[in-house]
Amino acid sequence: MMAVTATPTIATSFKGYIVLIIDDNPTNLGVVVDYLEESGLKIITAKNGEMGHKRAQFAKPDIILLDVMMPGIDGFETCLRLKADDTTKEIPVIFMTALDNTEDKVKGFEMGGVDYVTKPIQHEEVLARLTTHLSIRNLTKSLNVKIEELTQTHQELTKNVADLKQTRQELVQSEKMASLGRLVAGFAHELNTPLGVVVGSASLLQLEAQKINHLMEQEEVEEDELLSAIKNIDEGANLTLSNIKRAAHLVSSFKRTAVDQTSDEVRSFQVHEVINDTITTLHNRFKNTHIEIQVDCPNELKVVSLPGALEQILTNLLMNSLIHGFDEGQNAGSINLNVQLDGDHLHIEYSDTGKGIAQENLGKIFEPFFTTHRAHGGSGLGMYICYNIITTQLQGTITAESTLGKGVVFQIDYPIALIADEKINNK
């Protein structure tokens, strides 16, 4: 028989917790049940291992007191079954036993037990051990909830990052299409001029040819009149030829730029040529302004990189200067492009003499959707896309400096391969 002592008070937070006692001795059950129920715990009992396993599956107790020596399956086997069952494996098991040798205790821990209570049982010891392991279980449950919440948060963040990457790619692709649209519109307008001259010149050539035919049909031909007609044909032919060459140059420039801006292909290119092509595509936007574009770039500088990315960057910077720096081209000023080779990096200094950027806005210009021109249709994506292309696609850097009323300076730096290096690597 176990001695009955005064009942201590269990922590209020554990009142109502369920304890399953599996013991074949009714006397032990009666005394322990009374004592623990007075402490605020809810007790359910079972007289053998099979019944205890079933009740654990059904009631899902918070902790189990398990007698080792029982008829049928003993406590060790019962614990093994409880730990093999997904519905009961997380429930802590405290063995109750008169066995005090080390081998039996080690075996109990190997079966999945968390503690031992030695018979004859002391009520204070049982309650203390239950309190300890219920606290541990309570903390474990809270920790598991936090882990689950953190896992869910991590999954949501991972999804958000993936969505942001997808959105970024879509924005870049959208800007590519918008840039290509500007290119087509500018090309069509620029091509109209030489083609218009060619059509007009061809019409005059036809009239002069008809005039010569008419003169040749006469019995007497005025030499001066014939020479004048021939001179007009010669001048018209030269004018036609020069404008056809200009149109051919525009078509060639358009072809290069269109291919580059719709492709992420790395290729060798003349940096000066790409800059000139970009300026040509935007000529229609700048031609009626008093904005001068100056380029300082070595003609022989040839690199291996992404020409389409460079064209997009320059297009966005030029349009940013036109729209924001010079108020849609209403103000006069200059844009300066200085390109230098710094080891295996291409360094570009882009500056304008426009109205500049307020200091409170300077740190925000590379953020998506930030614009001070939204009332006039600005999307706030131009500089963000520049930043994204330079830092992500080209693995480079871009910084901005500005003083309000004195323009802006962008410093761009990204790695490239020189043609000489390319030849060495291909040997």
Tell me the C-alpha distance between 397 and 413, whole Å.
5
Domain 12-121: homologous superfamily in CATH: Response regulator (3.40.50.2300)
**330 pLDDT tier (thresholds 50, 70, 90):** very high
Tell me the average pLDDT across 310-320: 89
Which tens digit of pLDDT belongs to each residue from 227-241?
887 888 888 788 777
Q: Does 293 have pLDDT greater than 90?
A: yes
Top-confidence residue, 277 or 19: 19
Highest mean pLDDT pick, 42-56, 87-101, 104-118, 123-137: 42-56
325 pLDDT higher than 50: yes
Is the per-residue pLDDT at 425 higher than 50?
no
- Is 50 exceeded by the pLDDT of residue 288? yes
Residue 8: the pLDDT is 46
> Given its phi and psi angles, is residue 328 left (phi above 0), alpha (psi -120 to 50 degrees) or beta?
left
Q: What is the pLDDT of residue 427?
A: 33
- Among the ranges given (202-211, 218-227, 297-306, 372-381), the one the predictor scored with the smallest mean pLDDT: 372-381
Asked whether residue 114 carries a pLDDT value surpassing 70, the answer given is yes
Domain limits, the chain = 12-121, 264-427
Residues with Cβ < 8 Å from 245, sequence gap 6 or more? none
pLDDT average, residue stretch 191-200 = 74
Task: State the pTM of this model.
Answer: 0.49
Let me know if the fold of 12-121 is the same as that of 264-427. Answer: no
Q: What is the DSSP string of 270-321?
A: EHHHHHHHHHHHTHHHHTTS-EEEEEE--TT-EEEE-HHHHHHHHHHHHHHI
Name the pLDDT band for 160 (thresholds 50, 70, 90). confident
User: Higher-confidence residue: 304 or 388?
Assistant: 304
* Mean pLDDT within 396-403: 93
Task: Quickly name the fold that domain 264-427 has.
Answer: Heat Shock Protein 90 (3.30.565)
